[in-house]
Structure formats: structure tokens, C-alpha cells
Amino acid sequence: MAKNSPHLAQPTWSFTEYPRALGAVRLSNLTGVTTSPARQRTTIQLRTEQMGYTLIAEAADLGVSARTMSPFERPSLSSWLRRPDEYDAIVWSHVDRAVRSVTHMSELIEWSETHATTLVFGMPEEHQPLVVTPQADGEVIRRCMNLAYAAEQETRAISARLTSAHEVLRATGRYGGGLVPFGYKKAPHPSGVGWCLAPDPETIAVVRAIVDDVHSGLSLVAIARKLETAGIPVPRDRHAQLQGRPTGGRRHGRDFERFRWTAGSLSKILRTPALMGHRVHKGQTVRDNEGLPVLIGPPLLTAEEFQSLQDTLNTRSKGAHPKRRETSLLIGVAYCAGCNGRMFAPRKAYAYGDYVCRASARGTTCTAQAAIRASWLDDYTVSRYHDAFATDGEVTREQLLKAGVRVTVTKGRSGGGPDRLTGPDTSRLVFTIVSSLPEQPQT
């Protein structure tokens, strides 16, 4: 194997006349005053020109941590890594812009060897870049691993210092960064050192209105719809607005221009002691040496108002219910035809009730939400399973999932009458075996 020195200005491997380079920029925390992206781009441009590359595009992941997210998970870079034929090299300004983990560096080098792509790290503090060709020798790879290890250790040290600093901030009632509780905004600390929280005039009225709606008997799902209709931003989007950043982002592998209100997000807001101005850590009030709450801002609710709100929420969640059974038979098996989402049985799997589409709980909209009596759908599915597999006896949820069974339910007509008591309208149901039977779907 030919040995390539990492200190050579020009690579010794063969390229086309104008080898293509992809510039990669990354920054963990993007603020309005940082100059890091510009400095990274300058280094990348200088190194690509020095090595005779043509810079064709840029993968910019700003606000992305290399400690928690590998190159193959970053929104911009990952899409380019799936298209390696479109460029010949990737250029970063430094190793720590690419990875902060030995494991991630190993994965990146393995990828470069597989796809015959060169990795270039600008190393602006040195005269020459660090170049890793697909045929790189052990010396080059060891240097990359050593730099990745140094970046990993630095990250751990920074994390430890931040943890210690945040413990101090929690004890003194100062805001240490992160998502600001809904109803508040960042403000200078009265001592003149650091930050605290102050009521946000644009959302404090929203908090009050939500609390009033809860006391009036409105469900959290209904309140979420009300907030969506009014165009009120969720806490994460409001925080982005206050920081001067765009709303939305990536969640569960999907990109959103803005996030939606759900009953779950409302419950988090209404349950947090931050509504009383308390410093909160892992959901609990932080207390001083005398056992008193550490205040990080003026209260939006008094202690009495907060307790009254908790009592109202607890009353709704602790009603008298029939004896619960095991997990409903068709969870992960029954789907709504209107939105292709899972259907769920009653909360806590009560011994009676319906399978229903829960699109609203997921923060989405279904134009034809399906619902069907649980016992009917259970019996129908078990019967079709017995027919399909020529078997009898008890059928478990695990058996249905392993067999790839799926039952799709279409929305039925409204109204009552004796016909609704005779059993399910099977024309609404599609029984499918995804992985086992070639004659699917069956109806």
C-alpha cells in the first residue's frame, strides 16, 4: 500500500482535472454574534484552492452538537453522505468540526474507504491540511484517531465544567441557558451579574387563559386545538423567536416549519413549578439550604393558584375506572384508514370501549377519524387470523405482530339504531398480512 504523508500540500493520488469538494460547516450553538461559520468557510476555501479542488457545495449544520450526533445523523451532512458519487472529497476546517468521538471518526474513515472519498481537515494552525485518502496508511489514521480522542476528552471536560456551573446557577437562582419556561423570557439578573427570567408579556396572558380553560372543564386536547387555531407558538417556537432564530426544526426524522400543540405539551407546562417562579431541575423544585424554593423569576401563579390547578388536573386523571386488563390486543395492529396512524384502545386499557384514531394526540389532523368497538374488532381479527393460519385457540398480540397482521379501519357512518348492535360492519375493515401471505390484502 502506498504511504501518503499527511503533510503533503498536493495529494499523490489521481483525480480528474477538477476534483469536486464538498465543504462541511458545523457549530454546536449558533448565536447572532458568532463568527465561527465565517472562519470555517475561509479555511475550507483556502484549503480547497491549495489542493486544486473545485468547491461545489456546502453542508451546513448550525446548532448541531458533534458530541451527541454523528456525521450520519446531521440534517445537512447526512443527505450528502448518502450521495457520495456527487463529489470526490469532503473538507472541514478542523477535526472537531467533523467529529468529537473516536467511534464517529472510525465510522467516517470506514465510509471514506468504502466510497473512495477523501477526507480533508483544514487544520488552520498548521501549514498543511490533514488529508485522509481512501488508501491512507496507518500513520495518518492514527493521527486522526488521536485528534478525535483529544476532542472527545475536551468535550467531556467541558461537560463536567458546565454541570458544575449549572449547579451553582441553580443554587443562586440565575438562568443558565436552555429552553425558557413558557410565560417567561430572559432578562438581566438584578445583581447585575448573569441572567434571570421575567414574565413575557406576549405569553403570560396565554398561560392565564389556558389555566382558566382547564378550570372551566375544557379538555387538554380541546385547548390544544384552540391554541393551534389562534396561531399561538409552542414553547420551543416561542423560545426560537426570542432568540431571533427560525421556528420549527427536526423531530422524529421529519422537518417542521413550526411545531404543534398537543395535550402532552400542555400538560408539561401546567405541571411545572416554574409557573410559581421556581428554579426547576429534572421536574422538581430546587431548594436552598433552608428548604425554601430557589426563585428564578416572579411567579405567574401563586402557590394557591398552582395547587388548585394541580387538584383540577388530578381529579380528571384519578376518576373511578373499571378494572384494567393487559395491553389491548390490537395496539400496533389496528390502523386508521384516514391518516394511516395507529388506533388505540381506551386509556389504561379499560374492560370496555373503542379503538379510536388518536391523530389529535399526535399533534396531527385526520379528516376521517375511525373508531370501532374494541370487542368487535378483537373478535374479527382473531377470527381472520384463525382462518388465515388454519389454527385455533388463544391469539396474543405478540403472535399478531410477529405474523405481520394489520387491520385497517375506515370511518363509519354516524347515528345509532339496531344495526349497530349486531356487530361490526366488515366492509369498513381490511385484514392484511404484511409479511407472510402472498394473497394479501384480504377483505
Tens-binned pLDDT, residue by residue, of the chain (443 aa): 333 333 333 333 334 457 899 999 998 876 554 668 888 999 999 999 999 999 999 999 888 888 778 899 888 999 999 999 999 999 999 998 999 888 898 999 999 999 999 999 998 888 889 999 988 888 889 988 888 888 888 877 666 655 554 444 445 555 656 678 888 888 787 666 677 788 888 888 999 999 999 999 888 888 988 998 899 999 888 888 887 888 888 766 667 888 888 888 898 889 988 888 887 777 777 776 666 777 777 888 888 999 999 999 888 765 544 444 456 888 889 999 988 888 887 654 444 578 898 887 777 788 888 888 888 888 889 888 888 888 877 888 888 988 889 999 998 765 545 555 556 678 889 999 875 434 433 33
pLDDT at 435: 56
- Cα–Cα dist 333/201, whole Å: 46
Sign of CA dihedral 279, 281, 287, 293: positive
- Cα–Cα dist 197/187, whole Å: 5
Q: Specify the amino acid at residue 385.
A: Y
- 275 secondary structure, DSSP code: G
pTM over 0.85: no
pLDDT at 193: 64
Angle at 441 between CA 436 and CA 443, to 5 degrees: 125
Grid coordinates representing 133?
485518502
Instruction: Choose among 189, 188, 186, 168: nearest CA to 177.
Output: 186
pLDDT at 22: 95
Do the beta carbons of residue 37 and residue 61 sit within 8 Å?
Answer: no
* Burial environment of residue 254 by CB neighbours within 10 A (0 to 12, 13 to 18, 19 or more): exposed
Angle at 188 between CA 184 and CA 189, to 5 degrees: 95
pLDDT at 6: 36
Instruction: Please report, in angstroms and rounded to a whole number, the separation of the first and last CA atoms in the chain.
Output: 62
Stated as kind and residue range, the H or E segment containing 240 is helix 235-242
Grid coordinates representing 6?
499527511
Helices 220-230, 263-271: inter-axial angle, 10-degree rounding: 100
Give CA separation, 331 vs 252, 366, 382, 437, in Å. 20, 19, 14, 21
